[in-house]
Chain A
Amino acid sequence: MQRRTVLQLLALVSLLAAGSPGSLLAASSCEAEAKRSGTDSTRYFMVLAARTGVFYERSGPSFVALMRAGADDYDVGAVGIYAGANKQPVFGPVPAGSYEEMLREARNSSSDVMLRLELNPAQYERTLNVLRLWERRVREKALLYPDIAMDNILLVKQATEELNRCSRTIVSYNLDWGLQDDISEHNTPLRIPYEYFKELKRLNGAKHVPDPAMPPALLAATHSKE
């Protein structure tokens, strides 16, 4: 199977990421989402994956991955925190070698969490825009916080909240550091996405797409290193 990096996407990234998530995503609006015919056979997925016990304070990688499977091709990509050299946390587009293994069904339920959700095309586009915006911020060294863990929290919050922008797709958890937000209250910033994904999986377990229901090409993509 052939892998290629599409550099032309970079130009598109600049255009799409020209606004803040709120403003740019409003443009793709719920009207367009409602007008979609649904005849397209392409399938779209978001994967929320995190692990504990990797970094110095027992947290680990956590990222949002997007997958699209068309008739002849498929796209995969993830942005978030992964383990760099010496198991130091690094924030940015996650290398394929780092995300592939975590996109499979979790083997160790005590240290891993993985929630795979099927999206409609509009949800996919919106979340892709969020991830591309963060990719641009990494590329231009224009992150919003001095702590990459905080940037990652904002990324996972914005990406997951895009799912419910037009209609209630998932049962959400309000990750806002407010008084009702126990996850942020009781965890270090690096661990918050893991606990957040775990809670989303608890609330939306029925929507998780198991391996047998995945397009074979995408499933194979998570095993390409084996």
Chain B
Amino acid sequence: MDRQMDSHEQIRKLLALAVAGALGSEEEQFVARHLEICDECSDELERWRALAGGLRRLPTPQPSAAVVERARAQAESRLTEEMEHVWHRVVMLSLVLYAWILTSLTWYLFRLITGGLLARFEPGFNHSWLLFAAFTSLVWATGGVAAVLLGRHRQQERKMA
């Protein structure tokens, strides 16, 4: 009798979880077996089901169209900004990479044309020096463009903040 009462009390504690679909399979079977022989607990389960059903059917409050529209506008603006931010980062990285490649290339070209650093003292030095200067200028110009882009991007960020 006592064991039956214990089981009864245990089941009562599980009924709320049962209507929330939060029982494990063993617990579910335990509850189902008990409900087959206990009208009292079956009634109790019905009460929990009614409460759960009521919660499921609560009216859904809706945001006004103006609120949704404002949310959309703000989110769109931020998304556009984020995408620009990503694009700027890609451009910046590409430019830096490009600048490094050019710099390395310049060095190898310089060596190829002059035959080494000491060759700059040879008669062909003037011609090689011009090539080197042109490449270096290109590298610096690339860096300059990157700096300008970065500056403009930061300016935009400050404005948005």
Q: Do A and B come from one complex?
A: no
B residues in contact (CB < 8 Å) with A: none
